[in-house]
Amino acid sequence: MENKLKTFLLLAGLTVFLIFMGKIIGGRTGMYVAFLLALAMNFFSYWYSDKIVLRMYGAQEVSAAEAPALHHMVEELAREAGIPKPKVYIIPDDSPNAFATGRNPEHAAVAVTQGIMRILTPTELKGVLAHEMGHVKNRDILIQTVAATMAGAIMILADMARFAAIFRGGREDEDGPGILGIIVMSIIAPLAAMLIQMAISRSREYLADETGAHLAHNPESLARALEKLQTASQVTPMTASPATAHMFIVNPLTGGTLMNLFSTHPPIEERVARLRAMRSY
């Protein structure tokens, strides 16, 4: 419940930023334009983002005959979660990782890399798949897509506001924040939007870990898998787009302390500690 409330408040914060940026650019009309921009971007993301990301990583759908063990795990977890069985994909990449996509449980897909199937035991792999099924059950994919799209819309509006302020020259708007204020806000707002998006993503990761542990009836299997993935993904990094990094079970992007501040994923150590604090099911 805490994670759900936090997500709601953070999405509300993104909405406020979006409307505010629209108002800065064009007053009431700008607010409507901002709303329509976000609506159009969300519509496109809702219908096409799953196809785009699967194609982006070369994911190939596999049948039950081609990957019987994988299909059996997905089918068992889907039954446990009370949702339709998602389509199953394998990504031809040696870096160990996995993600779920799809606009709702009826149109979902889970994708795992060849690397993750190679290094995890069947029990650990089931823990990972349970985490991804948790995302599907909790409709995290839609929530994270909306958050990423709104953050993107805010960045676009911030660029428009900055250019509008520059081309306005020395003319000040009596009802507005002024040219300097617009420029400052056009820098701060995208940064704040990005931080909010990251916070939403981290919150949903914790929730998917918890749901996955319930579905697999074994928090330890996911905990062990996360520890393995953290080490192995650093040894064999994945070439991934920052725009889709939030989808993976472990962050495919590497970086230092500053990068961790803007990470879409909570620290692995914290996730593992939370899982091990849960009682066995």
Catalytic positions, written as ranges: 132
Residue in 113, 99, 106, 104 with CA at minimum distance from that of residue 62: 113
Residue in 243, 244, 242 with CA at minimum distance from that of residue 254: 242
Is 98 in contact with 90 (CB distance < 8 Å)? no
**CA of residue 3 relative to chain centroid, distance:** 15
